[in-house]
Amino acid sequence: MCLTCGCGEPADETGVAVETDTLLVEERLLAKNDRLAEHVRASLEARDITALNLMSSPGSGKTSLLERTVAELRGRRTVCVVEGDQETSFDADRIRSAGARAVQVNTGAGCHLDAHMVAHALDELAPAAQSLCLIENVGNLVCPALFDLGERAKIVVASVTEGDDKPLKYPHMFRAGTLILLNKIDLCPYVSFDVGRFIENARSVRPDVTVLPLSATRGDGLADWYGFLQSAVAS
């Protein structure tokens, strides 16, 4: 289990977590991860590869968004994908069917990707110089925010089916993202979700964040998303 988020922390007979030297272990794990992430970042930059880390809760529509992105950028930009899930290769299979090379990383009981996993995935994927590498993290609004993967930017994918208070409930995640993609806006007429309140809540956590409403299924906002990707690649 993941020591960093505390889900592996031992409990006493009452079920209450007991104090251990877990904090020291966590600090060492994060420091080791950060050193490897810098190595990954330097390797990517040397080949002019743009890596973006997409994080979200389960069911936000990350994979559907990546499928459409891969299909619509085909012929314009070389895209490859690192897929993170606890089990199965379903998402990597979907990405390959859409037309991009993909490597599936199964974390087992782990609830996030780390730099070690990504480094091995990139070795297998061997992305071409000047390509775009999209990393779909494990669905989780806590741990992925803590781990540097060597990416150029972290992107948070939220959806209107999750509630407009999510940035306040999970501030570390929404503070980590330089861009928030608000997906499934085609469902706004059918759910209780205030887009304006969501944006206000997100900017109370990170005032400079860009929030891009879109629909991966209907196509709303995708031109702006592709514009962001173009800018990220060119930067």
Q: Where are the beta strands (DSSP E) in the chain?
A: 50-56, 79-85, 101-106, 132-136, 153-159, 179-183, 210-213
Q: Which of 5-19, 103-117, 163-177, 197-211 is the least confident region?
A: 5-19
Average pLDDT over residues 7-16: 49
Q: Is residue 166 part of a domain?
A: yes
pTM: 0.91
Q: pLDDT tens digit string along 83-126?
A: 999 999 999 999 999 999 999 999 999 999 999 999 999 999 99
| pLDDT given for residue 26 in this prediction | 72
User: Phi, psi (5° rounding) for residue 10?
Assistant: -70, 150
The mean predicted confidence, pLDDT, of the chain is 92
Measure the CA–CA gap between 152 and 9, rounded to whole angstroms. 32
State the DSSP string of 122-186. Answer: HHHH-PPTT-EEEEE--S-SSGGGG---S-SEEEEEEETTS-TTHHHHSHHHHHH-SEEEEE-GG
Q: Is residue 157 part of a domain?
A: yes
Q: Is residue 2 part of a domain?
A: no
Domain that holds residue 154: 22-234
| pLDDT given for residue 4 in this prediction | 55
CATH number of the domain enclosing 45? 3.40.50.300
Q: Is residue 6 part of a domain?
A: no
* Residue percentage of the chain with pLDDT more than 90: 86
Q: Is residue 118 part of a domain?
A: yes
Q: Is residue 8 part of a domain?
A: no
129 CB-contact burial (10 Å; exposed 0-12 / middle 13-18 / buried 19+) = exposed
171 CB-contact burial (10 Å; exposed 0-12 / middle 13-18 / buried 19+) = middle
Angle at 229 between CA 124 and CA 79, to 5 degrees: 30
Is it the case that residue 12 has pLDDT exceeding 70?
no
Is it the case that residue 219 has pLDDT exceeding 80?
yes
Q: Is residue 14 part of a domain?
A: no
| Structural domains in the chain (count) | 1
Is it the case that residue 44 has pLDDT exceeding 50?
yes
Helix H or strand E encompassing 65: helix 62-73
Measure the CA–CA gap between 221 and 157, rounded to whole angstroms. 13
Q: Confidence class of residue 229 from pLDDT cuts 50, 70 and 90?
A: very high
Q: Is residue 109 part of a domain?
A: yes
Measure the CA–CA gap between 181 and 159, rounded to whole angstroms. 8
In the block, tokens 């050193």 appear at: 35
Q: pLDDT tens digit string along 52-94?
A: 999 999 999 999 999 999 999 998 999 999 999 999 999 999 9
Q: Find the farthest-apart pair of alpha carbons in the chain and give their distance in angstroms, rounded.
A: 59
Q: Confidence class of residue 10 from pLDDT cuts 50, 70 and 90?
A: very low
